[in-house]
Every structure is written in C-alpha cells, then in structure tokens.
Copies of this chain bind each other. A is one copy, B any other.
Amino acid sequence: MRIVLLGTGNLATRLGISLRSKQVEIIQVFGRSETSGSQLSGLLGCSFTTSREEIRLDADLYILAVSEDAIPEVLSGSGIRKQLVVHTSGSVSIDILSNVSENFGVFYPLQTLSKQKEVDFSTVPFCIEANNAENLKTLSILANILSDKVYQIDSAKRRQLHLAAVFVCNFVNHFYSIGEKLLLEYQLDFEMLQPLILETANKAILLSPPEAQTGPAVRDSQQILEQHLILLKQHPAWQQLYNLISIDIKNLKQ
C-alpha cells in the first residue's frame, strides 16, 4: 500500500513513523509548513511538497492528518477525484469527504499524540468507517497492521467516543497543568505529584473510576473544601471549577 500523508503535525508525524516501521510505504508528505514538512519527509524518506498541484496521484490512500477546519480544503486544487481519501478526526462526519473524492472514509486513532513522544500503536483503538465495503476492507487491513484493536464505528458513535475522550484526556491533562502551576506558585516540585498521577490512572482502570474515588469531596469534608477554596482565591476560574466538580463528585456518589 502506497500512502500520501497530508499534514505535518502530531498525528501525521506519529502515524507516518509508525506506518514506516511496519514497512508501509509513504510516498509523499504534503503540508503548509516548510520546516516541519522537511523534517517529517526526512524521517520518512519520501518527498515533500507545499503545493496542492504537486500532490501525487498514484497512491492507494490519502490520509488527511490536518485540523478539522482544514479538511474540506486540503485537496481542492489537487488532481484527486477517485482515490481513497480518509480523515483522522474524532468528531467530523465521514460526509465531509463526499465532495472531495468518490472513495472516502475515516481512520481515527483514539489516542493523544505529540511529536515529541513515541507511542505504541498496537494497543490504540482504531475507529474506521468507509463509503463502501471495499474501502472499509482497505482501511481494516491498514489498521490491523498498526493495532490489535480495530473498531468499525459510524460518525455519530465516533463523535460520542471523542467527547468522552476529551474528558478523560484533554480535561485531565489540563488538571495536570493546574497542578503543575499551583506547585510552581507554592515553590514545590511537580515531580512530587507524579506517583499520584500514575496511580490514579492505574487504579481507575483496575477498579472502576467511581470505586477508585478518594479525597475530600467524596468524603464530604466541608472544612477541607472551604480551606481549599480560600487557597484558590487568586484563581477565580479554578475556584469555580473546584466548587462545581466537588458538587458533581458528591452527586455522582448518591
């Protein structure tokens, strides 16, 4: 299978490197950024272009690894009409590609990906969808090369999954950021929280999140809640979050 990768960001980088390590041929990278495009095409040993007209037409699959808003436009001006084109977004419908090519689908890895960190795709759930059975087969073959967890899921379900992922990943990570900022302010080392962060993740998986819950909110320790709200008085946004989440923790318990 010969692939053109459209995009040079976190997902394009991690997916490209991983595909190449599985001997899948990336024949070209397309992107707007000269710097990250040269970097990525260097890593993948393929050519790079910033020009839509120069996108090669002889690949078996075109993977759009760009931000949601850019999806409809990326291939306009290219020669792509019939080739299999997929996007990689959790919350964008497959239909967005129906005007782009006759053959289209979705190839969504449910994982947080950063250029700077390697990822083991073998445990990552891949959610695939296509406009016909043949294209679905192609995507299934590719997904199975990368991962043991391949799911055929439609656009509505994938969006629901993505919403839940935002809570357990992006919002969780934001709370890590708040923790880091607070410790910086208190002149304490973020390293102190790291065993707690890892254990919280592991415990929620081994038990279940509601069963794993601890802390002042689930114990309904009013005195501690009040002290913490006072400590947060310089951070009204975090104070509000603290209050709302503590109430929600108590509600979930009941």
Residues of A within 8 A of B (CB): 10, 67-69, 91-92, 110-114, 116-117, 119, 123-125, 149, 151, 157, 159-183, 186, 188, 190, 192-219, 221, 223-224, 227-228, 231-232, 237-238, 240-242, 244-245, 247-249, 251-252
Contact = CB atoms under 8 A, between A and B. Distances in A.
Contacts of A186: 157, 160-161, 164
Closest 5 CB pairs of A and B: A170-B215, A176-B209, A168-B179, A177-B209, A201-B201
A111 B166 contact: no
A107 to B, nearest CB: 16
A204 B174 CA distance: 10
Given A161-B188, A179-B168, A111 B196 contact: yes
A179 B208 CA distance: 11
Given A157-B186, A159-B227, A173-B214, 17 more contacts: A92-B224, A110-B195, A110-B196, A113-B214, A116-B207, A116-B211, A124-B195, A160-B182, A160-B186, A163-B182, A168-B178, A171-B245, A172-B200, A173-B209, A173-B213, A177-B252, A237-B247
Contact of A174 (B190, B205, B248): B248
Contact of A223 (B69, B183, B200, B240): B69
